[in-house]
Amino acid sequence: MADLTKIFLFRMTHIDNIPHIVQYGITHGSSPNRNEHFRAIGDNSLINARSQFRLANGRTLGEYTPFYFGPRMPMLYVIQKGFNNVPSTPPEDIVYYVCSVQKILDTGLDFVFTNGHAIDGLSSIYEKGAIERLEELLDFEAIQAKFWKNESDLDIKRRKEAEFLVDGDLPLSVIVGYAVYAESSKTKLENWGIPPKMIAVRPNFYF
């Protein structure tokens, strides 16, 4: 079985959302503690599609908080470059907060995970009981690949975007660290009370 303390989950957010996370943890949009001033950076058309995409368990994707298994995902490229009618966001304003699978397991919250982009019909969706087989079910080589255009592997982009979807609000304690693009971003997080040792400057996580 994989060491789930060493399998990390990445979620991107606008830096302006960090103070709310520090105060309330990771909250879902339907939560009583939701961020009323949440600053979105994603693709609204995709968000709307996910809110209607129903899983075998009767829930919709929009009811879960999604994480990726790595940084530098195709969606980040869209967000930074401003494609698909998504306004561009400078990398200095994008923060990753990073959790471990084990930390989330310890909360007892329900979750599902996928072996590819969750809305893609080729992806399989796994329940909580399959977590022990995580390493064999996911293609971590694709997840960690720097590029996803490959004429000999047209499915790599889907597999790279495997997701971990958590039901309910998550406490701040599940976050093991933050990754930012620049020192200026790190300083902002420190000023909001995040210990410097929890913040890594990782420009290679961006485009």
By annotation, the residues acting in catalysis are: 50, 163
**Cα–Cα distance between 174 and 185 in angstroms, integer?**
21
Residue type, 188: K
**Cα–Cα distance between 28 and 110 in angstroms, integer?**
14
Cβ-contact 24, 46 below 8 angstroms = no
